[in-house]
Structure 1
Amino acid sequence: MTVHTRVKERAEEQATTMNGDQQAAIRALANDLHRLNHSVMRAVEAGVSVELVRSARHHGGDGQWGDLMIPVVVTRAG
């Protein structure tokens, strides 16, 4: 099953006004999110439900912030 999540395309669209370091960080994030999405799909196909929940918010000190996530995994009994 192939699912197109548009992570890379969305990141590139949003990175047009960023400097080089910011663009590199967003490209790395997009790549990691793409792998994460595929891992979530594999887990679901293996029979578990996965919810990503914000566990904390990281603040950069100059007004920037980012959500830190943890997985909540539910399996069916039986």
Structure 2
Amino acid sequence: MDREAWVMRAVEALRFATFKDIQRYLDEEGEPFSKKELEDTLKALVAKGLLEEKEGTYRLARKKGSAEALKKLFGD
């Protein structure tokens, strides 16, 4: 798995997680990340809309709904 997949797996397992929670989870799974790697990966996942961050807590992004899915498929 790549870095993003590992971080997504950690957040899925933890549901609501701080940076330290995610780091601890990855260490326990045998995938230690440097602080910079983890920060960059979290920022990238938030920018892609896969994660949400609020006050230092990360969670999976909410689903946009069927209207958004149809718009993606068929355009405007």
Higher helix share goes to which structure?
A: 2
Higher strand share goes to which structure?
A: 1
Please tell me whether Structure 1 or Structure 2 has the larger radius of gyration of its CA atoms. 1
Pair in the same fold by TM > 0.5:
no
